[in-house]
Amino acid sequence: SHKLRPDKAGAAMRATIEWRRRHNVDALREFVLGHRQEDFPLHDHCHRYFWTPIYIPRGADSEWPPFMLINSPILHPSALMKRITIDDYVVYSMHMSEWMAAHCDRITRKTRHLTKAVRVVALGGLRLRHASMAFARAASAAAKDHVDCYPQNLGHLFICNAPRAMKIIWDTAA
């Protein structure tokens, strides 16, 4: 957050505007608003091996924030990364992020209350076979700019059925 730091807030805004210009995000927003998630590039691969749908409760005109469901035990990131490149994943992730951000922006304008997306991560049944260094690199590449350029997509995070080891790591880090 850049509260009470106008110099940092201005620098962040300029960086975001430049990033959006460089990646032609205005055209991307127009595309994602006119299409379903199923129409996004590489959706077939991503949906089959890394199904993380974004829902808008009560339909597109709802005032509820969008939420992404990440059901970890059914994901196969290593299988996905055998079929697409890191750059492919970054492009797919940009489509999903822009779609979610557009809906957050629409709700914010309608309600005049800042709307941020919700992520629900279900970890029950997660096993070591779900780990993939190739996917970790792809997710890291996608997240690098998304954290700064899509702050409305980082609202609440709910982690369900976390393994005991994760709680120990979390408590240690906190």
pLDDT in tens, 71-118: 888 888 889 999 999 999 999 999 999 999 999 999 999 999 999 999
Which alpha helices (DSSP H) does the chain contain, by range?
6-22, 25-33, 43-49, 77-81, 86-111, 133-149, 164-173
Q: Give CA separation, 73 vs 81, 91, 113, 131, in Å.
A: 17, 24, 35, 11
pTM over 0.75: yes
Residue with tokens 């369900």: 160
pLDDT (0 to 100) of residue 96:
92
pLDDT above 80 for 54: yes
